[in-house]
Amino acid sequence: MRVQGSVRPPGDKSISHRALILAALAHGRSELRGLLPGADVKSTARCLRQLGAEIGQIRGGGAVTVQGSRLSPPTSRLYCGNSGTTARLLLGLLAGQRFAARLTGDASLRRRPMRRVSEPLRAMGARIQEERGDGLPLTIRGGRLRGLVYQSPVASAQVKSALLLAALTGRVPVTIREPYRSRDHMERLFVHLGLGIHDEDGAVSYQPSAVSRQQTIPAFRLEMPGDISSAAFLVAAAALAEGGELLVENVGLNPTRTGFLMVMERMGAHVERVNLHDAGGEPVGDLLARPAPGLRGGEVAAAEVPSLVDEVPVLAVLASRAQGETVFREVGELRVKESNRLELLAGNLRAVGVEAEARGNDLHVCGTERPPRGRVDTARDHRVAMAFAVLGTLPGAEVRLSEWASVAISYPRFFHDLKAIGSRARHRD
Ligand code: S3P
């Protein structure tokens, strides 16, 4: 296909969850623009409404008002759908509330580990009761918390954000270290709202205000940047295209999220960043992407993984078109995403004729020029579906996806946008 024109990816998923939660805690009426209208963010909004926040309908693009309030006990379980961010961040939020709430989710979410959040929250004083081992459903009873200095075994923004929310609502200090720096949207929002957060020797610390014991969060206005993790699929489609040029507008370019752009650069696909500016404490810009014939394979180091953790599926698809082998080091976290992404990616790449394998926690992908052909089992994992849909745009490709609906989790208009940016290349005779 040839790519053309410009496209705006939907609002950033990570920032949308966080903005909604902080607005629900704020005093007064906040106004959030460009929230992602995806199923995951709607799960967070639904749960926050059950806790007493008044949140308008989240539709594509428009402003949503949030009337914050003192949270109240939910009258029924909090259903987090497919969203790990919803479940883990709400656990943090609820740790500082003096009531009980039961959290659950869909079959995929119920399989995902929660102890990475519940253990440090217990150390802060929350009572958390498991029903089926390490996962949902869980009942949390928050209350009086104590401060914590925590070394997280995983680099996870969800863990870090949950602990920051617990410290904020429980009015206690917290310090978090992680093996590698994960996305820092929550920290940036804290700074934006004047909450006491700082960075020391690679550790993040929150200190409640010494002046008033009541840490107040002012109502705020925020415009979400476009989600770079959604933009990545469009940028990759442009890199694989036979011609043209694509402008992906208004993309969040937070350096804790841009790892895939560096890897693409090393592979031989230069993506230009233009129109750079700041919005609500986050760097934002447009991405100008062009076809990149002659991609080269290479190594993605463990230290880079947190900055591209959601882009491994689409990078693996690009690697399958690159010369030589690409190795993604230490991507074991992918086993506990919306699916076992590590095995699913390797298996699906093989299903369309690519040599790929998970060896220990590494993912190996060998590039080929053979058109991809075969059936892809998405396991209802939105990012796997979108990555293989991008692969399906190659000339001669015959990629059949087991389902399409999962894209609604993070990018409801994905297929519409993918179609809009492309036109079939005319065959030369
Ligand atoms: C997210 C953090 C990442 C990412 C997820 C969203 C967030 O997970 O994979 O899609 O908004 O905090 P981990 O922080 O658990 O790696």
| pLDDT for res 201 | 87
- In a domain? residue 91: yes
Give the tokens for residue 300.
């993605």
Q: Give which of 195, 219, 220 is closest to 208, Cα–Cα.
A: 195
| CB 2 within 8 Å of CB 242 | yes
AA letter at 286: D
Residue among 80, 82, 309 to mutate when testing ligand 1 (max atoms within 8 A of CB): 309
- In a domain? residue 364: yes
Structure confidence by residue, pLDDT tens digits, 216-243: 899 999 999 999 999 999 999 999 999 9
Give the tokens for residue 42.
């709607």
Instruction: Give yes or no: residues 198 and 242 share one domain.
Output: no
| pLDDT for res 260 | 98
Instruction: Give yes or no: residues 233 and 187 share one domain.
Output: no
| pLDDT for res 211 | 56
Angle between helices 414-421 and 228-240 (to 10 degrees): 30
278 is catalytic: no
Instruction: Give yes or no: residues 202 and 237 share one domain.
Output: no
Structure confidence by residue, pLDDT tens digits, 351-410: 999 999 999 999 999 999 999 999 999 999 999 999 999 999 999 999 999 999 999 999
- In a domain? residue 221: no
Instruction: Give yes or no: residues 333 and 384 share one domain.
Output: yes
Is the pLDDT score of 294 beyond 70?
A: yes
Going from the Cα of 85 to the center of ligand 1, the distance in angstroms, rounded, reads 6
Q: If DSSP codes are grouped into helix, strand and coil, which group holds residue 24? A: helix
Determine what percent of the chain is predicted with pLDDT higher than 70.
97
- Which protein residue has the closest C-alpha to ligand 1 atom 13? 156
- In a domain? residue 267: yes
| pLDDT for res 427 | 40
Q: Which of 40, 286, 310, 381 is catalytic?
A: 310
112 Cβ contact list (under 8 Å, min separation 6): 84, 87, 135, 136, 336, 337
Instruction: Give yes or no: residues 101 and 141 share one domain.
Output: yes
Which structural domain range is residue 411 located in?
A: 228-420
Going from the Cα of 81 to the center of ligand 1, the distance in angstroms, rounded, reads 15
Instruction: Give yes or no: residues 35 and 171 share one domain.
Output: yes
**Chosen domain end from 178, 207, 236:** 207
* Strand pairing category for 148-151 and 282-289: unpaired
Mean pLDDT computed over 142-163: 97
Cα–Cα distance measured from residue 293 to residue 133, given in angstroms and rounded to the nearest whole number: 48
- In a domain? residue 218: no
Residue among 85, 89, 189 to mutate when testing ligand 1 (max atoms within 8 A of CB): 85
Q: Which atom of ligand 1 is nearest to the CA of 309?
A: 9
The CATH number given to whatever domain includes residue 113 is: 3.65.10.10
Confidence of residue 60 (pLDDT cuts 50, 70, 90): confident
Instruction: Give yes or no: residues 192 and 243 share one domain.
Output: no
Confidence of residue 61 (pLDDT cuts 50, 70, 90): confident
Least confident span in 136-140, 209-213, 323-327 = 209-213
Q: If DSSP codes are grouped into helix, strand and coil, which group holds residue 298? A: coil
| pLDDT for res 428 | 38
Radius of gyration of the chain from Cα atoms? 21
**Chosen domain end from 172, 207, 242:** 207
| pLDDT for res 88 | 98
Cα–Cα distance measured from residue 344 to residue 247, given in angstroms and rounded to the nearest whole number: 31
Confidence of residue 209 (pLDDT cuts 50, 70, 90): confident
Instruction: Give yes or no: residues 140 and 40 share one domain.
Output: yes
Structure confidence by residue, pLDDT tens digits, 62-82: 899 999 989 999 999 999 999
Is the pLDDT score of 308 beyond 80?
A: yes
Encode burial over 176-210: b for 16+ CB neighbours within 10 A, e otherwise.
bbbebbbbbbbbbbbeebebbbeeeeeebbbbbee
Going from the Cα of 13 to the center of ligand 1, the distance in angstroms, rounded, reads 10
Total domains in the chain come to 2
343: left (phi over 0), alpha (psi -120 to 50) or beta: alpha
Q: Give which of 328, 300, 309, 321 is closest to 366, Cα–Cα.
A: 321
Residue among 117, 158, 176 to mutate when testing ligand 1 (max atoms within 8 A of CB): 158
Structure confidence by residue, pLDDT tens digits, 248-276: 999 999 999 999 999 999 999 999 999 99
User: Where does ligand 1 bind, in terms of residues with CB under 6 Å?
Assistant: 14, 85, 156-158, 161, 182-183, 309-310, 333
End-to-end CA distance of the chain: 17
Going from the Cα of 182 to the center of ligand 1, the distance in angstroms, rounded, reads 8
